[in-house]
Amino acid sequence: MHILGARARELYERAVGKRHAAVYVRVVARDTLQLDCPENQKFPIVVLKADALIVPLPEKIRVLDPDGKILKPSRRFYITTESFDPWHLLTDME
């Protein structure tokens, strides 16, 4: 299952287009993601491949830093679609 459901994927999914930095986020509530790192990963930052599929993250979904403070995008948050709850990758791009 994905936090956005299947419908958002069908309407807005696209490839990143070029390699792009992303961070791990964990679903902590129906409308909230928090920066975190899975136990099997050494570092919370990864590089998305150009063909990674993403969708815009709806503004109603909050993104929290590890201390629980709300983060705002510098442009717009996008989330990977080929990932499953609770772990996803989040990037900030135009």
Q: What is the pLDDT of residue 12?
A: 83
Q: What is the pLDDT of residue 8?
A: 67
Q: What is the pLDDT of residue 2?
A: 79
* First-to-last C-alpha distance (Å) of the chain: 26
Neighbours of 14 (CB within 10 A): 11
Q: What is the pLDDT of residue 84?
A: 86
Q: Is the pTM of this model over 0.85?
A: yes
Query: CA 24 to CA 50: how far, in whole Å?
Result: 17
Low-confidence stretches of the chain (pLDDT < 70) are 8, 11
